Structure 1
Amino acid sequence: MRIISNKILNRCPVCEHEMIITNLACNNCRTKIEGEFLPSKFCRLPQEQIEFIEVFLKCRGSIKDVEKELGISYPTVRNRLDSVLQTLGYGTGKAEIPLESTNHQNILDALEKGEITPEEAAQQLRKVKR
C-alpha cells in the first residue's frame, strides 16, 4: 500500500488544535515506530507561505527575480519573506513596524493585486489615518 500526501495535517479538522504524529511506518520493510513526534516547523506553514518559499528558492533568493515571477513589488516580496521568517520563529532583524504602517502596506498590496480599486484604496488609507 502506497500513501501519497502533499502535506502533513498539522491542525485537527474538528477543533483546530495542533496535532502530533503518533505513528511512523516504513513503506518498504513495514517497520513501525510509535511515539509522539512534532512535525517540522515547515510543515506548519500555511500553503501560501510554502508556495512563496518554493518561488524564493527557485529564484535562488533573488528578490528581483521573485518580483518578476510573482508579479509583485519589492516591498511585497520583503513583507512576505518577513512573514515567513516570523511564522518560523525567527526575528526579521528590524524594529517592530507600527500597526498603521502594516495597514498601509496591506491596502497597497490589495491595490497592487487588483483586489480593490484606487478609489477604495484612497478611502481605506484615509480611515487608517484617523
Structure 2
Amino acid sequence: MMKLPVKCPSCDEQLRVSKLICSSCETEVLGKYSLPILMLLEVDEQEFVLQFLRNSGSLKEMANQMGKSYPTVRNKLDDLIVKLNVLQNEQ
C-alpha cells in the first residue's frame, strides 16, 4: 500500500488536501483542508496508536504482544505524545 504523502517533495512543507472525489457518483469537493493530525504520523506510529486503542490503553498487554519491555513501550507512547503536541502546535 502506498503511503499518502504529507510533505511537499520540493520544499518539505506540509501538504494540504484540496480535492475529494466520491468513487460512486463522482461528486467532487474542492477546498483547502488540513490533514487529520494522526495522518501526519509515520505508518508505524499510526499502527502503534491503533494497537494502543485495541488494547484499551494497556501498555502491559501491548508490551506482551510486541515482545518488548513495558518501559520500551511506555517510551514509545511518550515520544508519540510529544510528537502529536508539536504537530498540533504547527497547525
Identity of aligned residues (%): 33
CA deviation vs aligned residue, 1:94-124 (integer Å, no higher than 9, x gap): xxxxxxxxxxxxxxxxxxxxxxxxxxxxxxx
Q: 2:66 aligns with which of 43, 66, 70?
A: 70
- Report the alpha carbon displacement of residue 13 of structure 1 after superposing the two structures with TM: 2.6
CA distance in 2 between counterparts of 1:25 and 1:60 reads: 34
CA distance in 2 between counterparts of 1:66 and 1:48 reads: 14
TM-score (norm 1): 0.59
Partner residue of 1:14? Answer: 10
In structure 1, the gaps of 5 or more residues are 91-130
**Larger CA Rg, structure 1 vs 2:** 1
1:82 match: secondary structure = helix
**Misfit runs of 4+, over 6 Å:** none
CA distance in 1 between counterparts of 2:66 and 2:11 reads: 34
Q: 2:52 aligns with which of 49, 53, 56?
A: 56
Q: What is the letter of the counterpart of residue 48 of structure 2?
A: F
How many residues in Structure 1 have an aligned counterpart in Structure 2?
86
Partner residue of 2:28? Answer: 32
CA RMSD, Structure 1 to Structure 2 (Å)? 1.9
TM-score (norm 2): 0.80
CA distance in 1 between counterparts of 2:11 and 2:43 reads: 20
Higher relative contact order (CA 8 A, sep 6+): 2
2:11 match: secondary structure = coil
1:23 match: secondary structure = strand
Matched, 1:23 2:19: yes
- Report the alpha carbon displacement of residue 6 of structure 1 after superposing the two structures with TM: 5.6
In structure 2, the gaps of 5 or more residues are 87-91
CA deviation vs aligned residue, 1:8-36 (integer Å, no higher than 9, x gap): 32112333221111111111111111111
Contact 1:7 1:43 in 2 (8 A): no
